[in-house]
Each structure stands twice: as C-alpha cells, then as structure tokens.
Amino acid sequence: MNHTSSSTGHGARSDAEGLREVLARSDFVAVLTGAGISAESGVPTFRGPGGLWRNWRPEDLATPEAFAHDPRLVWEWYDWRRSLIRKAEPNLGHRALAKLESRKAGQSPLRAPANQTPAPQCSERPEHPAVGQGCFTLITQNVDGLHERAGSQGLVKLHGDIWRLCCVGCGLTERNEQVPLDPLPPRCRCGTLMRPGVVWFGEPLPEDEWRRAVEASRRAQIFLLVGTSAVVYPAAGLAELALAGARLAIVNPEPTPFDHLADWVLGGPAGEILPQVCQ
Ligand code: BV8
Ligand code: ZN
C-alpha cells in the first residue's frame, strides 16, 4: 500500500482547496455516494434522524423475507419514500458532481486530439466517450434518482432504482412514477405481485453495475466517499479496493470507519463542500 503520510496516522488534511486541485488534475476520479448526499434535499438517511419508519429499521424492511411476510407493509414504506423523493429536488451537492463529470468528460485523456482516432466509445453512452470509461465515474448506493435529475450521466446504480418495478412472476420490469401507488401493492399485467426494482439485503448487486464500479475504483487516482456511513457491503468495499492506488477523500459531517485511511476528511454537509471542491 503506497500511501501518502495520512496512512501513517499523521491526520488527514481538511483543506478543500488542496482536494479541489487534485480533483482538477486527476485523470481518473471515482465517487461513491450514500444517503447523506440527499439529506439536504429532504430525503431521510437510513441511520440518521427520520431513518426509522413506524419504528422499523431499513434493514428489517429492505429484505426478501419482509416482502414475503408482508408485501403490503413493505410497499407502504416504499410508497412513503417515493412520495418524499417526489417532493425533493437535487441539491448543490448532486449538481456539483454532475458539473465535475461534464468537465472531466471535456478533459478526458481518453478524448483523442482532433488528428487522432478517438478512444473506444463507452457502450451505454456513445456520445460521452469518457463518462463511465474510467475518467469520471459516479457510483451510488441511492435509489432516489436525484443524481440523474441533477444531470449525472453514466451513473453506476449499485442498489437499483425506487422508480422501477419488477414482477416477481414473469420478471417484467417497468418504470413507474405513480405517487401514491394505486393499487398498492402494485400488480403486473400477468396478475402477479410487483416488487421495487431495488437490491435488498441478502441479494446480490447487479453484475454489470458491480463490474463497472470495481473497474473505476481500481483505476481511480482519487476516490471520493460522500454522505455514506460506509457500513453496507460490498459497496463500502470499493473504498478499500481504491486505496491500493488512489488517494481517499471523505465528505461527511460525522466520522466514518475509513477516516483513519483518508488523505482528506472534510467534516460538513455535501451541499456546502462539494461546490467548493468540484469547481
Ligand atoms: C449481499 C437498496 C450477498 C434498498 C440497500 C460484509 C460485512 C458485513 C455484512 C455484510 C458483508 N457482506 C454482506 C453483508 C450483508 C449486507 C450488509 O452490508 N449489511 C450491513 C447492514 C452490515 N449486505 C448485503 O446484504 C448486500 N448483499 O451481500 O449479497 C449475496 C451474494 C451473492 C448471492 C447472494 C447474496 C446488499 C446490500 C444492499 C442492500 N440495499 N438499499 C433500499 O434502499 O430500500 S442498502 C441501503 O443502506 C443504501 O442503499 C445504503 O447502501 C445503505 C445505507 O447507507 P448510507 O447510504 O451510507 O446511509 P446511512 O444513513 O447509513 O448514512 C448516511 C451518512 O450520511 C452518515 O454517515 C451521515 O453522517 C452522512 N450525512 C448526513 N447528512 C449529510 C451526510 N453526509 C454529507 N452531507 C450531508 N448533508
Ligand atoms: Zn408479471
């Protein structure tokens, strides 16, 4: 592990300017976000105030077992979260990351100068050669869709999307933005129950998203951990993967299990700090 001084315990830096410079000149940037980045948009986090719903912990409801036991209860929880997210707007934190992404796309080392053949295109987004191709990769644990609404492209959604429904019978998946859902629980045209298009505890992450996240984390020169308690795996493991070759920067008003490994710890709200470091 070829770490800079901080890994020897000399305390992480907290200067936004230093991090801004490193982000500006790094060719390969990876970012992992959690519920904290949507907190300033009014979306409750999992472990923070408002995370509990009817005294249920998210880990109790976001499971196949809970859904099998009481699909109506689980759907009432998702319907409540959808109604909150519908009222929310992306905040300055979401927007700062979208802006950094488009700047990085313009800067991309993969973007060949005019007289040379362009770099291989990214399958999902041919118009964005660099996005998702390792230059700048935004990876999220959030299912709220606020990163996309802020303009982020090539987003890697590790835990799915609350606005997608999947039939537990025929497997049909569809986008459904109805708030409130009616009927609840929603049913497929085949008559079978639909489930939220999210990854529940005990379920594997979508392969393609996971592969892209691992690739970007391994290639990163700077890895940003934003608004996450970093206790849910395998997502939190991406920061460990990145540490093999990248510097780690954390944006969170609270301590995280990775602070002692970080080069930067910026202790404050993402909506205030990200606009400073992403400009
Ligand atoms: C799996 C979608 C195997 C659904 C979610 C290793 C060790 C220990 C446990 C495990 C392990 N490996 C696997 C496990 C089990 C489990 C797990 O990690 N459990 C935890 C609880 C210990 N993992 C799994 O089950 C995973 N699957 O392992 O499958 C497998 C493999 C093959 C085949 C079969 C099976 C699946 C995990 C995904 C579950 N789905 N979400 C939904 O949303 O309904 S996880 C969900 O919880 C979120 O997506 C997110 O990942 C997590 C919540 O964490 P955060 O987003 O960080 O939110 P939190 O509230 O905790 O923290 C908010 C932070 O923001 C705080 O730090 C706060 O200070 C900060 N903050 C607040 N305000 C601000 C802010 N920061 C910045 N600005 C602010 N303004
Ligand atoms: Zn069906």
pLDDT tens, 64-114?
A: 999 999 999 999 999 999 999 999 999 999 999 999 999 998 865 555 555
How far apart are the CA of 158 and the centre of ligand 1, in A?
10
Non-local CB neighbours of 180 within 8 Å, separated by 6+ positions:
79, 82, 83
Cβ-contact 98, 277 below 8 angstroms:
no
Binned at pLDDT 50, 70 and 90, residue 3 comes out as very low
As a whole number of angstroms, the distance between CA 237 and CA 123 comes to 26
Q: Kindly state the percentage of the chain with pLDDT values over 70.
A: 85
Rounded distance from Cα 234 to ligand 1 centre (Å):
8
Identify the residues whose C-beta falls under 6 Å from ligand 1.
34-37, 39-40, 45-48, 51, 58-59, 62, 141, 143, 159, 198-204, 227-229, 231-233, 235, 251-254, 256, 269-271
Closest C-alpha to ligand 1, atom 32: 204
Task: Give, to the nearest 10 degrees, the angle between helix 270-277 and helix 16-25.
Answer: 50
Alpha-carbon gap, residue 213 to 43, rounded angstroms: 24
CB atoms near residue 182 (< 10 Å) = 8
Among 10, 94, 159, 260, the active-site one is 159
pTM above 0.75, yes or no: yes
Q: Read off the pLDDT of residues 230-250 as tens digits, 9 standing for 90 and up.
A: 999 999 999 999 999 999 999
Note if 128 is an active site residue. Answer: no
What per-residue confidence (pLDDT) applies to 113?
A: 53
* Distance between Cα 231 and ligand 1 center (Å): 6
Average pLDDT over residues 130-149: 85
* Mutation pick for ligand 1 pocket among 32, 84, 201 (CB with most ligand atoms within 8 Å): 201
Confidence band, pLDDT 50/70/90 cuts, at residue 135: confident
Taking the centre of ligand 2 as the mean of its atom positions, its distance from the CA of residue 205, in whole angstroms, is 22
Helix or strand holding residue 275 (H, E): helix 270-277
> In degrees rounded to 5, what are phi and psi of residue 277?
-90, -15
CB 247 within 8 A of CB 187: no
Instruction: Tally Cβ neighbours within 10 Å of residue 36.
Output: 26
Alpha helices by DSSP H, listed for the chain, are 16-25, 58-61, 64-69, 71-87, 92-107, 146-149, 207-219, 237-242, 270-277
pLDDT digits (tens, 9 = 90+) for 151-184: 999 999 999 999 999 999 999 999 999 999 999 9
Q: How many angstroms separate the first and last alpha carbons of the chain?
A: 30
Tell me which residue of 212, 88, 87 sits closest to 147, measured CA to CA: 88
* Model pLDDT, residue 204: 98
Q: Please tell me the predicted confidence (pLDDT) of residue 134.
A: 56
pLDDT top residue among 121 and 149: 149
pLDDT tens column, 10-64: 579 999 999 999 999 999 999 999 999 999 999 999 887 767 677 788 889 999 9
- Contact criterion met (CB below 8 Å) for 179 and 79: yes
d(CA 85, CA 196): 15
